[in-house]
Amino acid sequence: MCKQTEGYCQTAPLFTITPRNYGIVDSAMAHYDIFRHHLAIKYPAYGHALWEPSPGGRYPAVAVGDVGFIREGQFHRLFNVLLSPRDPSHRLGIPEENEQLRPRVEDHIIPGTLSPNHFCSAGVALESEPGVFATGPKNPAEVTFLCRRKQGAVLSLPIQAKCENTVALGDFGEWMINHIDRWFAWARELGMGINRMEDIVLVTGVHRTRSWTNVAFLEGQTDSRVSFEVQVAADTNINWRFSPDRIIGAVLNRGPVGQDLPEDQCIFIRGYRVTRKLMILPRLKGAAGPNPDPKGPNSEPDVELVPISTVPEYT
């Protein structure tokens, strides 16, 4: 049973995004962009850090093979290329003539783990003892983070996260390039504001856990710091405690609390986007004759594959 509680935490009076976000915004750069940007610099191998890891009850969890888009720090799933087109999870439907991807390597998803820790960007210091997580029913551990730069980020992970990555990156990349035009045309018809091809993401790896706390330190605030308490009992019961007066110059978002929580919170995703290549006209030659067909059988595709983090977010 998952018991949702707020502890003694209350919404800060000047700023709220969701009932679990606390802080005051004073920055031209959105807090979710600050969060993913600074963690990507410090931990590039983990991929794109999601400000809101919850699937929101719309599907079980973000998974390898998902096609979707990221908006305001949350991944929104459209469909999954590894599932049958008739899979019941495809509640939005699928693009026309959509096929199921079957990688040439059958056991292509490799599992892994990520140990509990506080993942801090450069310039953010943990003032309490590193790795402190209370494991008993009493005296929850308090942690304090101080940001010494204009901006910074923290992902506090009190319990192990599980990792999945596909080794069939070549198959995934080729599949996306061959299908992106169809996906994009279909996605635009959904009315979700997907206006750029680069908005569409194909997931090749995930980190999922049960709970978390995300912190974004905002530019323009001196002596930015955050303190909160966290308690983990027998790896099954997680509780956070926050107080608005202990959050200075930052925005904070916390994950679920309670016992026997599902492992459906996706803190990092890895994957591909597709962008259009910059087209350069060929140099003119004096010899007469027909020009080669730019769309001929030997022509290169006018799109290229890039990691998720390569294209900046604008939403």
Convert the pLDDT of each residue in 109-144 to its tens digit: 999 999 999 999 999 999 875 545 555 445 568 899
Average pLDDT over residues 32-51: 96
Backbone angles phi, psi at 206, to 5 degrees: -145, 155
Using the predicted structure, report yes or no on whether residue 17 has a pLDDT greater than 50. Answer: no
% residues pLDDT > 70 (the chain): 77
- In eight-state DSSP terms, residue 310 is G
CA 70, CA 51: separation in Å to the nearest integer? 10
Would you say the pTM of this structure is higher than 0.95?
Answer: no
Average pLDDT over residues 155-159: 95
Q: Looking at mean pLDDT, say which of 22-36, 78-92, 121-135, 213-227 comes out highest.
A: 78-92
CA 172, CA 303: separation in Å to the nearest integer? 15
Residue where the block lists tokens 């940007």: 37
Backbone angles phi, psi at 192, to 5 degrees: -100, 10
The H or E element spanning position 33 is helix 31-42
Average pLDDT over residues 256-279: 91
What pLDDT, on the 0 to 100 scale, is given for residue 285?
46
What pLDDT, on the 0 to 100 scale, is given for residue 56?
86
Model confidence at 303, pLDDT cuts 50, 70, 90, reads: confident
Using the predicted structure, report yes or no on whether residue 298 has a pLDDT greater than 60. Answer: no
What pLDDT, on the 0 to 100 scale, is given for residue 315?
44
CA 209, CA 55: separation in Å to the nearest integer? 12
- In eight-state DSSP terms, residue 181 is H
Find out whether 49 and 241 touch, Cβ atoms under 8 Å. Answer: no
CA 184, CA 203: separation in Å to the nearest integer? 16
Using the predicted structure, report yes or no on whether residue 107 has a pLDDT greater than 90. Answer: yes
Please classify residue 268 by burial: count the beta carbons closer than 10 Å to its beta carbon, then call 0-12 exposed, 13-18 middle and 19+ buried. Answer: buried
Handedness of CA 283, 288, 292, 293 (dihedral sign): positive
Residue where the block lists tokens 């290549």: 277
Model confidence at 6, pLDDT cuts 50, 70, 90, reads: very low
CA 123, CA 180: separation in Å to the nearest integer? 39
What pLDDT, on the 0 to 100 scale, is given for residue 5?
36
How does pLDDT run across 47-96, given as a tens digit for each residue?
Answer: 999 999 999 888 889 999 999 999 999 999 999 999 999 999 999 999 98
E strand intervals along the chain: 21-23, 48-49, 66-71, 74-80, 109-114, 117-120, 124-126, 141-147, 152-157, 161-166, 200-209, 213-217, 224-233, 237-241, 247-248, 250-254, 258-259, 265-276, 303-307
Of 75, 72, 159, the closest CA to residue 118 belongs to: 159
Alpha carbon distances (Å) from 151 to 36, 50, 118, 122: 12, 17, 17, 9
Model confidence at 294, pLDDT cuts 50, 70, 90, reads: very low
